[in-house]
Amino acid sequence: MAGIDFYFSTLSPFTYLAGTRLEEVAKRQGATITYKPLDIMSLFARTGGTVPKERHVSRQEYRLIELERQARKLDMKINLQPAFWPTNPAPSSYAIIAAQSVGGGDLGALVHGFLRAVWADESNIAEDEVVRNCLQSAGFDPALADSGLLTGAETYAQNLEDAVSVGVFGAPFYVTEDGGRFFGQDRIEELERHLAG
């Protein structure tokens, strides 16, 4: 069975636009997914990127144009100026790490739930109640929000190191076990072709 390491940030609008297409691809291709949430701002700093607010105005403007264009194409609701962005991504990331460790729910739905909360539902994913609601909606015990915080922090930091070591520089980023790298929600079809051989 093929494996995919999925590097992402719970703050990333382009990861939001990926929806659950990765999970659909994995199901069709018999692949497993390892979810690797990371600190995207630190990743930018480590790999030569620039955080959105520090980019040239032309890049900032085009980013918004592309987000709106892709959301329309995918028929997804998006708020280009969300009330709670940026916010602290650590609580949602730790919850994903804990959920992946215990299993039992739908990890794809959990990840997308956090992203939808930011980019469509005007919710603050740094708040305990939002984290619990996302966990419960995806079939996980909401108490996971309070468990494994040290392990979550350690894994979150290690995910960043892993990302840098395999050439990840943005989100969403998909790395297959044979070294295939695919950057962006608009590369999921290419990822599937790669998995299909």
Contact 89, 37 (CB under 8 A): yes
Fill in the DSSP letter of residue 180: -
Summarised one tens digit per residue, pLDDT across range 109-159 is 999 999 999 999 999 999 999 999 999 999 999 999 998 889 999 999 999
Contact 32, 26 (CB under 8 A): yes
Contact 183, 49 (CB under 8 A): no
Mean pLDDT over 73-77 rounds to 97
Domain residue limits at 115: 3-196
The count of structural domains within the chain is 1
Mean pLDDT over 35-40 rounds to 98
Which residue intervals of the chain are DSSP H helices? 13-18, 21-29, 40-47, 57-74, 90-102, 107-119, 128-137, 149-166, 188-196
| Strand 181-183, strand 173-176: pairing | antiparallel
Given a cut of 90, whether residue 1 has pLDDT beyond it is no
Cα–Cα distance, 83 to 122 (Å, whole number) = 6
Cβ count within 10 A of residue 2: 16
- Rg of the Cα trace of the chain? 16
pLDDT of residue 26: 98
The gap from C-alpha 154 to its chain's centroid, in whole angstroms, comes to: 18
Fill in the DSSP letter of residue 146: G
Given a cut of 80, whether residue 105 has pLDDT beyond it is yes
Higher pLDDT, 169 or 149: 169
Residue 170 belongs to domain with CATH number: 3.40.30.10
Cα–Cα distance, 81 to 94 (Å, whole number) = 25
| Strand 3-8, strand 32-37: pairing | parallel
Cα–Cα distance, 135 to 196 (Å, whole number) = 32
